[in-house]
């Protein structure tokens, strides 16, 4: 049997199994070679590093930086951001075992009690983000992982902060360093967008997350 050599990121993290691929990048289950700890590895495709796609790279860097600030049992925890010569920029986080809420809803309808449990978990995660002055801007079933815990219970965890943004309590003297959100842009998933986020995604508050959770519970 031929031996399969798995890619290693920065000499420390081995990429074992592809979990999910999107339009700009992919997520892997990996292992820290020194400790044996399972980790999540999220990397951008090479095209996202080009000048044409610089906004994707800027968002990736920003979301990684903000994610490292949040310490919550209801938001995925980031450990490291490494730049690998072969694989580019890679975000290292805890590995969440379980399907997304979108996957679950495609199979069955949640009971009222289950829906409330999910809503409470999501709101707890958002409260922890808001405590760090971070607004998510893209709350939807696809970014919520139904994490299976060792005791057999399930916890809903926010897993994608790709469109997150700092909430300004006072208007800063200059625009955000990345400048990746145009002043008149509407970003996010339409079904869950608050009206003010459709008008301008840059000047939003934590209220847009509450609006999205309302639609989430309705669904």
Check residue 177 and give its pLDDT.
44
pLDDT at 65 over 60: yes
- 45-64 average pLDDT score: 64
Q: How far apart are CA 31 and CA 45, in angstroms?
A: 20
Residue 110 CB neighbours (<10 A): 15
Residue 7 confidence (pLDDT) above 80: yes
pLDDT digits (tens, 9 = 90+) for 8-19: 988 899 999 988
pLDDT one-digit tens code per residue, 124-152 = 999 999 998 888 888 999 999 999 888 88
The residues pairing with 84 across neighbouring beta strands, listed in sequence order, are 88
Residue 56's pLDDT is: 66
The CA-atom distances, in angstroms, between 171 and each of 17, 146, 176, 181, 203 are: 44, 37, 11, 16, 10
Residue scoring higher pLDDT (51 or 164): 164
Element (H, E) at 121: helix 112-131
Task: Show the CA angle centred on residue 49, arms to residues 86 and 69, nearest 5°.
Answer: 90
Q: Which pLDDT score, from 0 to 100, does residue 213 have?
A: 92
Would you state the pLDDT for residue 80? 83
* Higher-pLDDT residue of 78, 117: 117
Residue 185 has pLDDT above 60, yes or no: no
Mean pLDDT computed over every residue of the chain: 80
SS3 of residue 119 by DSSP: helix
Complete DSSP assignment for 10-58: TTTEEEEEEEEE-SSEEEEEEEETTT--EEEEEEE-GGGGSSTTHHHHH
Question: Which one, of 92, 149, 115, 125, lies nearest residue 209 by Cα?
Answer: 125
Indicate whether 176 pLDDT > 50: no
């Amino acid at each position: 049997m031929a031996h399969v050599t798995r890619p290693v990121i920065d000499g420390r993290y081995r990429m074992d199994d592809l979990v999910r691929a999107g339009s700009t990048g992919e997520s892997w289950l990996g292992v820290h070679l020194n400790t044996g700890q399972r980790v999540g590895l999220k990397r951008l495709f090479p095209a996202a590093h080009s000048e044409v796609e610089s906004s994707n790279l800027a968002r990736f860097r920003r979301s990684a930086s903000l994610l490292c600030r949040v310490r919550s049992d209801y938001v995925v925890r980031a450990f490291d951001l490494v730049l690998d010569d072969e694989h580019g920029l890679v975000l290292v986080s805890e590995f969440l075992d379980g399907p997304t809420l979108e996957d679950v809803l495609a199979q069955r309808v949640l009971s009222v009690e289950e829906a409330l449990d999910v809503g409470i978990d999501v709101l707890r995660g958002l409260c922890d983000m808001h405590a760090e002055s971070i607004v998510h801007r893209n709350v939807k079933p696809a970014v919520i992982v139904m994490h299976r815990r060792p005791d057999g219970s399930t916890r809903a965890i926010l897993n994608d902060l790709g469109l997150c943004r700092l909430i300004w309590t006072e208007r800063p003297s200059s625009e955000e360093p990345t400048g990746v959100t145009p002043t008149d842009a509407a970003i996010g998933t339409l079904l869950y967008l608050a009206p003010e986020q459709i008008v301008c995604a840059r000047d939003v508050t934590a209220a847009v997350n509450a609006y999205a959770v309302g639609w989430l519970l309705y669904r």
